[in-house]
Amino acid sequence: MTSTPSSGVPLKEIILRPTAGSALSFGWQRMKQFFLDLFLVTIIVGFTIIPAAMIGSLDGHETPGGVLLRIFGFAYWFLLYAPIDYGAAFMFLGAARGEKFDVKDMFRNFERNYLNVVLANLLQKVIIGIGIVFLVIPGLIFACRLAFVKYLVQDRGLDPVAAVKESWRMTQGHAWDIFWLGALACLIAIGGLICFGVGIIPAIMWIRSAFASMYLAVTKGEETLAAETTPAQG
C-alpha cells in the first residue's frame, strides 16, 4: 500500500497484517502522515474528559449531592463522551485508510447515529464489566473480542447487537494479536507519561492509529479471502 501525504512525498510501502507489530508500524506511519489532524482530534477528546474527571474527583460520599454527581458523571460518559470518542475512532480509521477527513465530522454522531453509538457503547461496557466481575480473564477476553464494535457501528452502520456479534466473529483467530496490541499500548502510554507527561498525547495518537490499523487489516484480509474464493463471473 503506497500513499502520498500532504507534503507530496510518497510513504514507504507497508504491508499491513493483522498482528500487533504490523498494526503499530502501520499506525505510526499514518499518525505521522496525518499528525496535525489527529493531534487536534486527540486534544478535543482530551478536553471532553476534563469535566468527567472533575466530577469524579469530588468526594460526595453517600450524600444526595454525591449521588446526583455520580449519576450526572455516568450520564456524561455515555451520553456525551461516548459519541465524541466513537467519532474520534472513525477519524483515526479514515487516517489508517489514507483518506482525507474533516475533523468536524467527529461530531456527526450527535446528528446521525447517536442512539446506536450510545447503546453499542453501553452494551460493550456491560459485557466487559460482567466478564471482569467473574474473574478478570473473561473481561480481558470480552474486551479483545469486542474491540471492533466502535468501528463497525460507524463504518458499516450496524446496530449495537449486530456490531457486537460481528466484532466477535471478526476477531476470531485474532484475539491474541489484539491482546498483545493492548499490552504494548499500555507500555506506550506509560512511556508517554514518563516523558514529562506531554508524551501521552502522541502515545494516545499512536495507540488509536494502531487499533484502527488492526481493524483495517482484518477487514482487508476478509475482503481478499472473499475475492479469492468467489468464482469468476464469465
Say what the pLDDT of residue 226 is.
84
Residue 20 lies in a domain: no
State the Cα–Cα distance between residues 73 and 155, nearest whole angstrom. Answer: 28
Say what the pLDDT of residue 17 is.
95
Residue 7 lies in a domain: no
Residue 176 lies in a domain: yes
Nearest residue to 161 via CA among 120, 219, 117, 114: 120
Residue 199 lies in a domain: yes
Residue 217 lies in a domain: yes
Q: What is the residue whose three cell numbers read 493483522?
A: 18
Residue 175 lies in a domain: yes
**What is the domain range of residue 136?**
27-223
DSSP letters, 116-150, are HHHHHHHHHHHHHHHHHHS-HHHHHHHHHHTTTHH
Say what the pLDDT of residue 59 is.
60
Number of folded domains in the chain?
1
Say what the pLDDT of residue 4 is.
45
Query: pTM value?
Result: 0.89
Residue 104 lies in a domain: yes
Residue 117 lies in a domain: yes
Residues of the chain short of pLDDT 50, as ranges, are: 1-10, 234
